[in-house]
C-alpha cells in the first residue's frame, strides 16, 4: 500500500529549510534534508500533566512547541526567534492547506484552558450590590463608625452569570423557576 502526499509546506529561515508533510493516511512529518520525525499533536492530558502551571497555552504556542520538539528530535540547533519564524510561516501556510489541523490545535488549547482555569479560578463577579449601613457593635453610639457590608439582592440573572463563569461549558445553565 503506497501513501501519497496530501500537502507539503516549506519554511526557510537563515538557510535552514523545514518541510511539513502530510500523507493521505493522516500522518504528519517535519523534515530537514533527508531526516524526518513524526509531528505529534499533543493531547489535553499530556498538556495538563507536563505543562507549566503558570498559564494555559494558546493554539499557536502549542504548535510552536511541537515544532520545537521536532527540531530537537532532528538534532538541529535553531535560535528561538528563528524557530518562532519557522512556526509562524508554517502556521500561516496551514491556514490555506489544512484548516482542520489548526482547528485541532484550537480544540486542544481550549480544552486545556478550561481544565487549567477550572483548577485556579478566582471569581470576580460584578453584581449589583446594595450597601446597607450597619453599625459596628460594642462601641458607644456617639463614637460608632459605620461599616458598609454588601448585601446581595436576589437576582437570578447574576446567579446565572456566576454559575456560567464557574462552570463554563461543563454544565448546562441551571433552569431557575420564575
pLDDT category, 157, cuts 50, 70, 90? Answer: low
Domain ranges of the chain: 5-120, 129-166
Mean pLDDT across the chain = 75
pLDDT category, 128, cuts 50, 70, 90? Answer: very low
Among 106-110, 143-147, 170-174, the range of highest mean pLDDT: 106-110
Among 49-58, 100-109, 140-149, the range of highest mean pLDDT: 100-109
pLDDT at residue 169 greater than cutoff 50: no
Give the count of beta carbons closer than 10 Å to the beta carbon of residue 124. 6
Task: List the grid coordinates of 159.
Answer: 446567579
Q: Which residues are CB-contacts of 105 (< 8 A; sequence separation ≥ 6)?
A: 41, 59, 60, 62, 63
pLDDT at residue 48 greater than cutoff 80: no
What is the pLDDT, as a whole number, of residue 123?
A: 45
d(CA 51, CA 68): 15
Look at 39 and 116; give whichever has higher pLDDT. 39
Asked if residue 16 lies in contact with residue 30, where contact means CB atoms within 8 angstroms, the answer is no
pLDDT category, 138, cuts 50, 70, 90? Answer: low
What is the pLDDT, as a whole number, of residue 71?
A: 94
What is the pLDDT, as a whole number, of residue 171?
A: 42
What is the 3-class SS of the chain, one letter each residue?
CCCCEEEEEEEEECCEEEEEEEECCCCEEEEECCEEEECCCCCHHHHHHHCCCCCCCCHHHHHHHHHHHHHHHCCCCCCHHHHHHHHHHHHHHHHHHCHHHHHHHHHHHHHHHHHHHHHHCCCCCCCCEEEEEEECCCCCCCCCCEEEEEEECCCHHHHHHHHHHHCCCCCCCCCCCC
Q: How many CA atoms lie within 13 A of 106 on its CB side?
A: 7
Q: 16-30, 100-114, 138-152: which range is least confident on average?
A: 138-152
pLDDT at residue 85 greater than cutoff 60: yes
What is the pLDDT, as a whole number, of residue 92?
A: 92
Amino acid at each position: 500500500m503506497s501513501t501519497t502526499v496530501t500537502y507539503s509546506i516549506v519554511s526557510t529561515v537563515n538557510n535552514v529549510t523545514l518541510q511539513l508533510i502530510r500523507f493521505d493516511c493522516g500522518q504528519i512529518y517535519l523534515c530537514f534534508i533527508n531526516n524526518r520525525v513524526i509531528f505529534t499533536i499533543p493531547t489535553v492530558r499530556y498538556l495538563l500533566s507536563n505543562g507549566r502551571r503558570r498559564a494555559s497555552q494558546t493554539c499557536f504556542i502549542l504548535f510552536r512547541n511541537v515544532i520545537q520538539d521536532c527540531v530537537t528530535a532532528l538534532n538541529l540547533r535553531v535560535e528561538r526567534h528563528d524557530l518562532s519564524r519557522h512556526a509562524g510561516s508554517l502556521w500561516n501556510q496551514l491556514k490555506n492547506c489544512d484548516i482542520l489541523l489548526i482547528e485541532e490545535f484550537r480544540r486542544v488549547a481550549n480544552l486545556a484552558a478550561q481544565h487549567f482555569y477550572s483548577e485556579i479560578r478566582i471569581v470576580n463577579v460584578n453584581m449589583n450590590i446594595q450597601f446597607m449601613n450597619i453599625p459596628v457593635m460594642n462601641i458607644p453610639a456617639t463614637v460608632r463608625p459605620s461599616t458598609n457590608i454588601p448585601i446581595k439582592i436576589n437576582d437570578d440573572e447574576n446567579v446565572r452569570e456566576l454559575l456560567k463563569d464557574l462552570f463554563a461549558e461543563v454544565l448546562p445553565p441551571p433552569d431557575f423557576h420564575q
